[in-house]
Amino acid sequence: MTTDYLIVGLGIAGLHFCEQLEAHKKRFIAIDNDGVAATKVSGGVYNPVVLKRFTAAWNASKHIDAAVGRYSELEKKLETSLLRSVPVYRIFKSIEEQNDWMVASDKQELSRFLASEVVPNTFRNVKAPFGFGKVLGSGKIDPSKLLAAYKRYLTQKKALRTETFQYELLQTQDGSFQYKDIKAHRIIFSEGAAAHLNPYFPKQYLIPNKGEYLIVHAPQLDLDVILKGPMFVIPLGNNNYKVGATYSRDDLSTHPTQEAKEEIVAKLQAMIDCDFTVVEQIAGVRPTTPDRKPLLGSLAATPGMYFFNGLGTRGIMNAPTLAEQLYRHIEHNETLSEEIDIRRFY
Ligand SMILES: Cc1cc2nc3c(=O)[nH]c(=O)nc-3n(C[C@H](O)[C@H](O)[C@H](O)COP(=O)(O)OP(=O)(O)OC[C@H]3O[C@@H](n4cnc5c(N)ncnc54)[C@H](O)[C@@H]3O)c2cc1C
């Protein structure tokens, strides 16, 4: 079978690249092993603000506008609801933080994202004596629902194989690639943190970072916004909340740990004043990089082989724009900016 593109790894990176290929009527086959994708466990939050420092996230306006548009299109295409616009309420720790927020909300790049007044705390069971800063333009998608729906869609199109890609079986021939019965003109590797197993990928450019969430049931919490204090508290409906996430560079397994559970419980108790029970614990590994920018493009060694990785902590928001940039780079020879080009580390 001959195809234009072979995509290895169908997390949020692979998915948005497939969307580009569909939009431009290219043929493709995606291979994914249905492993613990970071995308599947992620909070699915798109948030244009760095909530520690009250600054705009990298290229926030561009990324967020494209992301909201793409996820809305995906909702229609997959006939499922995925996207919800919901504000993030950042708990202020002090009067000084309130003042810093006000100053930030006056800045040009932030004025559309930061409400300029302090929101008083009217939640019965949230501890926030200094109130909240309200982020505008934020929201969430349901990432595991999206992946499941997209995989069903590709399966119907006969464009998905559920298996582990075996790198040793890949052959390059006359500028194209042969993998088992598939002949592809180009190959895109988008395996997230699992790329460290890829012999073609420069492993030193990835710094995998494990994150864990608890799903808790808290009938008296009654939150309809995303709360941000020492942890994110993300409403899931039915009085369930996703709480996290932790950060660890030491243990890179995808197993939940007791240590993370204790950390999340203690931090949640510092934020809320009501009972909760832990329903589930999940873990995944973020593909972060030394300079917190993605890794896109090719290395000189193998023409036709491309990487789409390094989405770090903001893959949900950034992947749609980056997929488009990578597509234009490959198909129209547009230069990738140095800050995202994988060759910048050479
Ligand atoms: C706990 C946690 C919370 C997060 N919360 C958020 C958030 O709220 N908002 C946000 O924007 N980002 C969040 N992130 C980050 C976000 O999840 C990542 O940036 C993004 O999901 C990375 O996507 P990816 O497609 O590169 O990798 P992945 O999602 O990991 O996908 C890679 C896919 O490739 C498959 N694969 C790997 N190797 C092979 C192989 N050899 N053969 C076949 N298939 C293979 C894997 O099984 C997987 O399906 C969070 C991450 C974590 C861990």
CATH label of the domain that carries residue 113: 3.30.9.10
Looking at ligand 1, which residue's alpha carbon is closest to its atom 1?
211
Please check whether residues 16 and 122 belong to one and the same domain.
Answer: no
> How many structural domains are present in the chain?
2
126 has which bridge partners? Answer: 272
Per-residue pLDDT of the chain (346 residues; tens, 9 = 90+): 999 999 999 999 999 999 999 999 999 999 999 998 999 999 999 999 999 999 999 999 999 999 999 999 999 999 999 999 999 999 999 999 999 999 999 999 999 999 999 999 999 999 999 999 999 999 999 999 999 999 999 999 999 999 999 999 999 988 899 999 999 999 999 999 999 999 999 999 999 999 999 999 999 999 999 999 999 999 999 999 999 999 999 888 899 999 999 999 999 999 999 999 999 999 999 999 999 999 999 998 789 999 999 999 999 999 999 999 999 999 999 999 999 999 998 7
Please check whether residues 196 and 297 belong to one and the same domain.
Answer: yes
Please check whether residues 219 and 262 belong to one and the same domain.
Answer: yes
Please check whether residues 123 and 233 belong to one and the same domain.
Answer: yes
Which of residues 264, 288, 312 is at a domain's end? 288
Q: Give a yes or no: residue 125 inside a domain.
A: yes
Please check whether residues 211 and 278 belong to one and the same domain.
Answer: yes
Q: Closest by alpha carbon to 315, among 190, 200, 201?
A: 190
134 lines ligand 1 (CB under 6 A): no
User: Which two structure tokens, joined as six digits, stand for 235?
Assistant: 């409403």
Q: Give a yes or no: residue 166 inside a domain.
A: yes
Q: Is the model's pTM score more than 0.85?
A: yes
Domain span including residue 189 = 2-42+144-205+291-345
Please check whether residues 174 and 247 belong to one and the same domain.
Answer: no
Task: Say how many Å lie between the CA of residue 52 and the centre of ligand 1.
Answer: 23
Please check whether residues 106 and 130 belong to one and the same domain.
Answer: yes
228 lines ligand 1 (CB under 6 A): no
Residue 136's Cβ-count burial label (10 Å; 0-12, 13-18, 19+) is middle
Please check whether residues 118 and 11 belong to one and the same domain.
Answer: no
Please check whether residues 221 and 184 belong to one and the same domain.
Answer: no
The CA-to-CA distance between both ends of the chain, in Å, stands at: 35
pLDDT at 300: 83
Task: Say how many Å lie between the CA of residue 37 and the centre of ligand 1.
Answer: 4
Which of residues 288, 311, 326 is at a domain's end? 288
CATH of the domain at 149: 3.50.50.60
Q: Give a yes or no: residue 260 inside a domain.
A: yes
Q: Give a yes or no: residue 129 inside a domain.
A: yes
